[in-house]
């Protein structure tokens, strides 16, 4: 509830190193994650979400979990970790926490793809 009432890290990062968007408005949830990476660590992370309370709370939680982590560590944050950190979610809401984790992983992939392109 606290993460819904006062969500952390809401917003966007205009010059983000990686951006990941998952979900679609048809099923009621869209989530975008922005990450800023320095020396292989996530130094800043922000999110935007169109979704229910659980979607807001899980987005907020995952940004807290991911901040300061290396990309490898962040990639390992699983769908279950988010729900666990929030003290569990009802089964019908699990897809919200899945989305949050998926959005983060997408953002990391996006970063890695951009890095790969730069190195070439």
Closest to another protein by CB, 28 vs 40, is: 28
If binding means CB under 8 A, how many residues of this protein chain bind another protein?
26
Can you point out the beta strands (E) in the chain?
18-24, 29-38, 41-50
HSE at residue 47, side-chain half, CA atoms within 13 A, is 34
Site string for another protein, 74-113 (x = CB under 8 A): ------------------xx-xx-----------------
52 near another protein (CB under 8 A):
yes
Phi and psi, residue 38, nearest 5°: -140, 130
Q: Which residues pair with 33 in a beta bridge?
A: 20, 47
Does 27 qualify as catalytic in the annotation? yes
Which residues of the shown chain bind another protein in the complex (CB under 8 A)? Answer: 4-5, 7, 10, 21, 25-32, 48-56, 92-93, 95-96
């Amino acid at each position: 509830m606290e993460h819904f009432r006062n969500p952390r890290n809401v917003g966007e990062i205009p010059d983000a190193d990686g951006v990941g968007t998952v979900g679609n408005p048809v099923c009621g949830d869209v989530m975008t994650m922005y990450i800023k990476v320095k020396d292989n660590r996530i130094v800043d992370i922000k999110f935007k979400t169109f979704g229910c309370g659980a979607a807001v709370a899980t987005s907020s939680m995952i940004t807290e979990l991911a901040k300061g982590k290396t990309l490898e560590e962040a990639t390992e944050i699983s769908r279950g970790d988010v729900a666990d950190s929030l003290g569990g979610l009802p089964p019908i809401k699990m897809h919200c926490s899945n989305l949050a984790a998926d959005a983060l992983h997408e953002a990391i992939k996006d970063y890695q793809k951009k890095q790969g392109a730069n190195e070439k």
